[in-house]
Amino acid sequence: MRAAVIVFPGSNCDRDMATALTAAGLDVTMVWHKDTDLPAGLDLVALPGGFSFGDYLRCGAIAANSPICRSVKAHAERGGFVLGVCNGFQILTETGLLPGALLRNAGLKYICRTTPLSVATTDSVYTSAYEKGAQISIPIAHHDGNYTADADTVARLQGEDRVAFTYAENPNGSMSDIAGVLSANRRVLGMMPHPERAADERHGGTDGAPFFAHLTQALSDA
Amino acid sequence: MKARVHVMLKDGVLDPQGEAVRHALGSLGFEGVDKVRQGKVIELDLADGTPEETVREMCEKLLANTVIERFDIELV
């Protein structure tokens, strides 16, 4: 199974993501944002956390229009798997691959702490190793993680079981406590919390490990 | 020619920053401030004759996120 991690100027979780994916058994290639093509035969593209382009204009807005993102979009439209964490989630909403948008946190502060999440669906390659409703502790680190969408969109996401994770203690004002959402084909996941920062004993928690543990198997079954 | 683009959060989208500004004005003693909405202004220096339609396209593709924001274009 092959994965690419896209690196933008200002990405700062790209190596953490690559480490977690490599540990899960994926063959990982780092891809620079100015490249126009993804490596052939990719199973998964990961958009990492960070502050791409300094969060200028809006978080993820410039990255969403970078050369590589056209290929990432095409990969998703072909039915490829895409994972966006934190800034990666913001980029996915800016490209339109996922609905909604991430606004400034309701409390206006940057929040960096481990927070309890509920696994809202197990019907995705990313969440199939968890029990539905399981509560897990995963770090968040963001200033703009306040998920918003119109009421119809939120109802559709809930009705189609496309909310992947919810906050057990809403830290940022997100509508319906939404922490992560899936695309209609369930192959694109965007989430604000960082499972790659809770995937090794040395991180101080391993609740993110199941996220990656079955990924190789799940991708090959998909 | 210049264009000035005003980008604002759509009505109904919560604006935590505007709300914080409203609180701050209140604590400075300014009374009667019912609501504050914060947006941004983007000024563009453009080749003469650039059609407004092109500026609109710039707004839709990049300058505004039309999921949460609306924009007004002023050619000056």
Band of pLDDT at residue B42, cut at 50, 70 and 90: very high
Residues with Cβ within 8 Å of residue A136, at least 6 apart in sequence: A116, A117, A118, A119, A130, A207, A208
Tokens of B29: 């003693």
Q: How many CB pairs under 8 A join A and B?
A: 36
Q: What is the pLDDT of residues A116-143, one digit of tens each?
A: 999 999 999 999 999 999 999 999 999 9
Overall fold of domain B2-75 = Mth169; Chain: A , (3.30.1280)
Q: What is the pTM of this model?
A: 0.95
Closest Cα in chain A to B21: A108
* CA B29 to mean position of chain CA atoms: 26
Ordered by start, the domain boundaries in chain A are 2-221
What span, in angstroms and rounded, lies between the C-alpha atoms of A143 and A110?
4
pLDDT of residue A216: 87
pLDDT of A93 > 90? The answer is yes
pLDDT higher than threshold 90 for residue A221? no
Q: Which two tokens stand for residue B65?
A: 């996120």
Complete DSSP assignment for A125-157: TTTTTSPTT-EEEEEEEESS-EEE--HHHHHHH
**Which 8-state DSSP code applies to residue B59?**
I
Asked if A35 and A60 touch (Cβ cutoff 8 Å), the reply is: no
pLDDT tier, A74 (very low <50, low <70, confident <90, very high otherwise): very high
Element of type H or E holding A178: strand A178-182
**Which of the following is catalytic: A13, A59, A69, A86?**
A86
Q: Which of A47, A37, A124 is nearest to A88 (CA)?
A: A47
Residue B42 has φ and ψ, to the nearest 5°, of -120, 120
Which candidate from A65, A100, A104 shows the least CB-CB separation from B16? A104
Fold classification of A2-221 is: Rossmann fold (3.40.50)
Q: A148–B68: do the CB atoms touch at under 8 Å?
A: yes
Instruction: For an interface test with A, give the residue of B7, B13, B66, B68 to mutate (most A CBs within 10 A).
Output: B68
Helices A87-95 and A67-77: angle between axes, nearest 10 degrees: 80
CB contact under 8 A, B16 and A105: yes
Nearest to A58 among B17, B61, B65 (CB): B65
Closest CA to B69 of B30, B33, B41, B27: B41
Q: Could you tell me how far CA A174 lies from the centroid of its own chain?
A: 16
pLDDT per residue over A157-215, tens digit each? 999 999 999 999 999 999 999 999 999 999 999 999 999 999 999 999 999 999 998 88
pLDDT category at A40 given cuts 50, 70, 90 is very high
Residues of A in contact with B68 (CB under 8 A): 101, 103, 148
Residue A222 pLDDT grade (very low, low, confident, very high; cuts 50, 70, 90)? confident
Query: pLDDT of A42-71, one tens digit each?
Result: 999 999 999 999 999 999 999 999 999 999
